[in-house]
Amino acid sequence: MSAEMLLEIRGLSKSYSGVRVLNSVSLSVRKGSVTGLIGENGAGKSTLIKCINGVTRPDAGEILFAGETLRRTTIESALRRGIVTIPQEFNLANEMTVRENIFLGHELKHGGVFLNHSAMRKRTAELLERLESRISPDAEVSTLSIAEKQIVEIARALNRACRLLIMDEPSTVLNPPEVENLFRIMRAMRGDGISIIYVSHKLNEVKTVCDTVAVLRDGEFVCEKPTAELTARDMASLMVGRELSRIFPPKPAPPAEDAPPALELDGVTLEKLVHHASLKLHRGEILGLAGLGGSGRTELAEAVYGIRKTVSGRILVNGREVRIHSPAQAVASGIAYLTEDRQSSGIIQTFPLAWNCSLISLRKYCLASFIRKKKENAAAEEYIRRFRIKTNSGATPIGELSGGNQQKGAIAKSLDHSPEIFIFDEPTRGIDIKSRGDIYSFIGELARRGMACLIISSDLEEVIGLCRKVAVMRGGTVAGILEDEHVNEKEIMYLATGVK
């Protein structure tokens, strides 16, 4: 193993239930470098990470770390060596403070007995200052934004004398300024000699922040090259093994000037979160909702879906005012909502795909008190075909599917009650480029069939590629609405930041 190499993987293989997930994969990570790890959902990235950090053991091959062969690695032994993973779904205790999370499991103590709160608070403050963050060590994690939670995860990694940091889709719900801050932190860590494996489907970001890129396809190693030698389009082609066609569908025609809105929000206000927000969404339209973190986008969607309580204002569906106090009432009003966090509130991972598809609409599959399983399974099979979900059958637990296929299942669940209005919150979070294209095509198809679609996204390329019209939120209200040639990154950011 070269003195420059921190991690070297040789001929790694892993199978589950006779299915080969990794097939003789080899790659290396240099000390003080950022390596991009890319591939479609199901390419083997997650399994490779789990082999490195001790979550699972490979069937064959070897892993060398700092010149030492890792044998029978566990999560704890990997942490002791300085291998730290920040998963896509954060492993933070929301009810605990920042410092309690950073020291969870290895608290500082007086005399080995009593917790040394002052020392932990001081060390947490030092770590946050190093990351140029103003987060309070005593802040409860549940009050933090996604970007702030990520900083807490990074601080926790630094507190463990991190030598290799594995970041799984770290920028999926970050807006451009937050992404730039993340990259600044990563470059500083690289300057301190820390190596980073950066797993992402955002290929332009991989190109920007990574020194090298390793490509997996169908569980096999494709190549490892300097990012300077590849364009984002080259990376996409290596991931899928062919040239990719246009990823975004044609934008739908604008609604007629006198067309009544399918959904209208008139001065909707939520206590401390949203203030007098107004917008109109028409049938057959894909309306974007953009804004920085904390601007109130998700909170406004949750109010429309009955998850949050409005203080004042009106919600009108097809011109009729509706009072929505629960998701059940939203469903009855013809509204569907795809949550930004599918793992915790979009799906039930232990349930089969078929059960997840019928979660909202179970009543239509019941006869008296019995569930008509054949009808339920037939509906699931139709969604599998229509959405190209990679699974053997609807009986597969949805948690065993890749992220892109889980998201397709979550969309199927929301569609199964035949809504007229569909709110998508971060619809392609953590999804590979091919599955993103599939989902964009589904959204375009829904709009062509007359569905009113609202797209909330931190990915400006996504908003610009899908939407003819974009509402931009700032400080809990709609700061402005852009149309046609004005839908571009510069004008969206002007409104989002209040520059213009």
pLDDT per residue as tens digits for the range 313-330:
999 999 999 999 999 999
**Which residues share a beta bridge with 481?**
471
Q: What is the pLDDT of residues 51-85, one digit of tens each?
A: 999 999 999 999 999 988 988 888 888 888 999 99
DSSP state letters, 450-492: T-EEEEE-S-HHHHHHH-SEEEEEETTEEEEEEEGGG-SHHHH
Nearest CA-CA partner of 301 in 62, 99, 112, 471? 471
Q: Give the distance from CA 289 to its chain's centroid.
A: 17
The answer to whether 5-240 and 263-497 have equal CATH topology is yes
Find where tokens 């789990």 sit.
50
Counting beta carbons within 10 angstroms of the beta carbon of residue 59, is it exposed (0 to 12), middle (13 to 18) or buried (19 or more)? middle
SS3 for 436? helix
**Angle between the N-to-C axes of helices 489-497 and 176-191, in degrees from 0 to 180, rounded to the nearest 10:** 90
Find where tokens 């809504």 sit.
419
5-240: in CATH 3.40.50.300: yes
**Which residues share a beta bridge with 114?**
110
Is there a contact between 345 and 307 (Cβ–Cβ < 8 Å)? no
Q: Beta 195-199 vs 83-86: how paired, if at all?
A: unpaired
Q: Where are the domains of the chain?
A: 5-240, 263-497
- End-to-end alpha-carbon separation of the chain, Å? 55
**Count of residues for the chain?**
500
Q: What average pLDDT does range 345-357 have in this prediction?
A: 86
Q: Using pLDDT thresholds of 50, 70 and 90, give the confidence band for residue 338.
A: very high
Q: 263-497, which class in CATH?
A: alpha beta
Q: What is the pLDDT of residues 465-498, one digit of tens each?
A: 999 999 999 889 999 999 999 998 888 988 988 7
* CA geometry: angle 476, 479, 481, nearest 5 deg: 130
Q: Classify residue 140 by its DSSP letter.
A: B
Q: What is the pLDDT of residues 269-307, one digit of tens each?
A: 998 889 999 999 999 999 999 988 778 999 999 999 999
The whole-model pTM stands at 0.66
Q: What average pLDDT does range 345-352 have in this prediction?
A: 83
**Which residues share a beta bridge with 64?**
8, 69
